[in-house]
Structure 1
Amino acid sequence: MQLDRVLADFSLYLSAERGFSEHTVRSYRSDLADLLRFADEAGATDSAEIDLELLRGWLWRGSTAGLAKSTLARRSATARSLTSWLARSGHTPTDAAARLRAPKSDRHLPRVLTRAQMDTLLEGLDARASTGDPLAIRDLAIVELLYASALRVSELAGLDLRDVDLGRLTARVLGKGSKERVVPFGVPAKNAIAAWLEVREPGKALATAGGIHDGPAGGIRHATTGTHGATSDATPAGAPVSARTTGPSTALFLGARGARIGTRAVYTLVAGLLESVPGGGPAGPHALRHTAATHLLDGGADLRAVQELLGHASLGTTQIYTHVSTERLKESYAMAHPRA
């Protein structure tokens, strides 16, 4: 296969067959574009010319350019995924990257807020929301739900009205690899979401038209339009993901202009809130996900239950939060124990 076709065809495979999100496919494309530029510089014009030495040279150049170990590890994984696909598709006789190795990424403990810090942050948002400002009310609902359900930012931004059941205190989210799961949330998040729905302008219009109404258990259901324009009840919980509607009017959280809120806007919101919170490390929405998982384990939650909540495919990924809890225990011990 000519290299100029590799990027487009492999991207299509990732999205159509693997079900990867747009963000994940974009990350793959970025790495592969750099790899294909390197291959072109080396005189390779066909996918069969992508061999182990070329891939090692590509990683070496990245290493000498000062790329982080985590970036090199990601590039190595991207290359292995590409060459495996090429071999399975018959474009290359062998899997060139089967023996490719990259340095293990440095594993840093995630940023975790204390319970007191989370309480202070939420109290500040609640005070702003009490003024009646619709965006402040929305921001409180966003942060409450991120913390309550340990959602990824893309999962939160992708929520539709029908995905939230206020009666059962659950939300149906679409995670990595188009895997759907149901996550719980608490009464504070429920109240914050309900308050947001009261001021959500498109929601008001739909409610007037009978589009949004309380389900039997008090949950939110959203009317959908059939193939002939007739309205029907929301897609049942077991319906395929393709049955979801993604138009702005169906989104749970909206931006200032009335369209579905984007991940960048949520990141900006959370990063701004965490600027004033003491502590180092990343200051985006993922910090709230880390915080929720750690607080659950601190409170005695089962590790596998936390794995299910987070949507982790591997228990090993979830286990990093046990390390976080251990580190916090050590810090408390060092400060409090007279023989520490």
Structure 2
Amino acid sequence: MKNRKNTETEYLGYWLRPFLIEYLIVTRNLSRNTQMSYRDTFRMLVSYVSTLISIAIDNLKISDITTDVITKFLDYLEIERKVSVSSRNNRLAAIKAFAKFLAWKSPEHIDWCHHVSLIPSKKTEKRMITYMDKSEIEALADAPLKTCKYQGIRSRDHVIILFMYNTGARVSEVIGVKVKDVAMPPKRGMPMVTLHGKGRKERICPLWEDFWDLLKPFIDNKLPNDYLFLNRYNQPMSRFCIYEMIKKYSQDVILNHPSLANKRPSPHVIRHTTATHLLNSGADIDMVRNWMGHSSIDTTNIYAEISMERKLEALKKCEQSVSDTPSRKWSEDKELITFLDSL
């Protein structure tokens, strides 16, 4: 007869708790957003499996989560919940991460983990990354000053868009900036900001000198641990708020910049814009990688591939000059003819 410990380890819940609470946070040091994504994956998975096989969630065993069940779950997400193929693959990645953890902690489940690791991801269409021209991003940054009637919100939104363009920060990094993260020179000069990125990695970005004036109203009379950008209720801004803000101002400038309609401006498109403009300005690709907080240089190389200015520059370097004056025929070279006759 199996003892209580061996019986407990058969249940999914026994392993999910340390996976979500310890492994993802302490061992993997994953970002808060990734942790929440993994948590949501298993929240949906256990509900789906419980309904599918008519077993209470607390009584689900590892053996109940077969590869066939996982595949049905992924199909359910894509077909019934209408998630994208990319989102489907992200859910599968979360399940595979759990299988890897389980193989490490519970060798008796290695066979199950191996079968889960063999579930293939779906191939996704490679979409071209979009970025804005300088005139477009400038128009977007000026939109709050022209269209928003509330002084405080007008200034805040203008500064946030400029801040995103200057730093190339992710939304989570923007809303996470605190007063203590901004280093302001005593006299007017170039401020610096510490951004807290994915996996709790930090990087320091310089800001344009104009930010010395722009940020002072957001810093004065605040404590070091106060958030830099607040909503109208003096609470930290949410990701949704930033996305809606960019969407609103994009609609305001599309009339004069119709090309923006196809680029669908968003916080991440602004990030693409920063990286592409840095490369176009001649910045070294490794410097751009550090600026953007990329863990792999391969991610930064994507921006080099889409930069039209860099492509035109490369084309000019290999362009052959065509002279209007035809070159002299070999038969007119008397010295050559004399040499050939002497052979």
Shorter-chain-normalised TM-score: which range?
A: 0.7 to 0.9
**Cα displacement string for residues 243-274 of structure 1 (whole angstroms, at most 9, x for unaligned residues):** xx5xxxx1111111112222222222112111
Q: Could you tell me which residue of structure 2 aligns to residue 83 of structure 1?
A: 99
Match of 1:11 among 15, 20, 42: 20
**Cα displacement string for residues 149-175 of structure 1 (whole angstroms, at most 9, x for unaligned residues):** 000011011111010113353211111
Match of 1:69 among 85, 89, 114: 85
The 10-residue stretch of structure 1 (114-123 or 14-23) with the greater mean CA deviation from structure 2: 14-23
Is the counterpart of residue 179 in structure 1 residue 201 in structure 2? yes
Q: Could you tell me which residue of structure 2 aligns to residue 162 of structure 1?
A: 180
8 Å Cα contact 2:176-2:196 kept in structure 1: yes
CA distance in 2, matches of 1:68, 1:61: 12
Is the counterpart of residue 37 in structure 1 residue 19 in structure 2? no
**Cα displacement string for residues 179-220 of structure 1 (whole angstroms, at most 9, x for unaligned residues):** 1111222123333212443xxxxx42x5xxxx6xxxxxxxxx
TM-score, scaled relative to structure 1:
0.74
| Residue 296 of structure 1, CA deviation | 0.9
Is the counterpart of residue 111 in structure 1 residue 111 in structure 2? no
CA distance in 2, matches of 1:33, 1:317: 31
Amino acid at match of 2:74: L
| Residue 127 of structure 1, CA deviation | 5.3
8 Å Cα contact 2:304-2:310 kept in structure 1: no
Is the counterpart of residue 28 in structure 1 residue 38 in structure 2? yes
Q: Could you tell me which residue of structure 1 aligns to residue 340 of structure 2?
A: none
CA distance in 2, matches of 1:75, 1:254: 32
Match of 1:272 among 248, 273, 297: 248
Q: Where do 1:1-340 residues align within 5 Å?
A: 1=9, 2-13=11-22, 14-40=24-50, 41-42=52-53, 45-65=60-80, 67-90=83-106, 92-94=108-110, 95-96=113-114, 97-126=116-145, 133-167=151-185, 168-197=190-219, 203-204=220-221, 206=222, 222=224, 245=225, 250-276=226-252, 277=254, 278-326=260-308
| Residue 101 of structure 1, CA deviation | 1.4
CA distance in 2, matches of 1:320, 1:191: 35
Residues 266 and 190 of structure 1: CA distance in aligned 2, closer, same or farther (over 3 Å): farther
The count of aligned residue pairs is: 284
| Residue 17 of structure 1, CA deviation | 3.6
- Which structure 1 segments of 5+ residues have no match? 198-202, 212-221, 223-244, 334-340
What is the DSSP-based 3-state SS (H/G/I as helix, E as strand, rest coil) of the residue aligned with 2:109?
coil
Residues 106 and 5 of structure 1: CA distance in aligned 2, closer, same or farther (over 3 Å): farther
Amino acid at match of 1:181: R
| More helix as a share of residues | 2
| Residue 8 of structure 1, CA deviation | 3.9
Residues 56 and 128 of structure 1: CA distance in aligned 2, closer, same or farther (over 3 Å): closer
| Residue 116 of structure 1, CA deviation | 0.8
Amino acid at match of 1:251: Y
Identity %: 23
| Residue 113 of structure 1, CA deviation | 1.2
- Computing the radius of gyration over CA atoms, which structure comes out larger, 1 or 2? 2
C-alpha RMSD of the superposition: 2.8
- Which structure 2 segments of 5+ residues have no match? 1-8, 255-259, 316-343
What is the DSSP-based 3-state SS (H/G/I as helix, E as strand, rest coil) of the residue aligned with 2:273?
helix
8 Å Cα contact 1:86-1:92 kept in structure 2: no
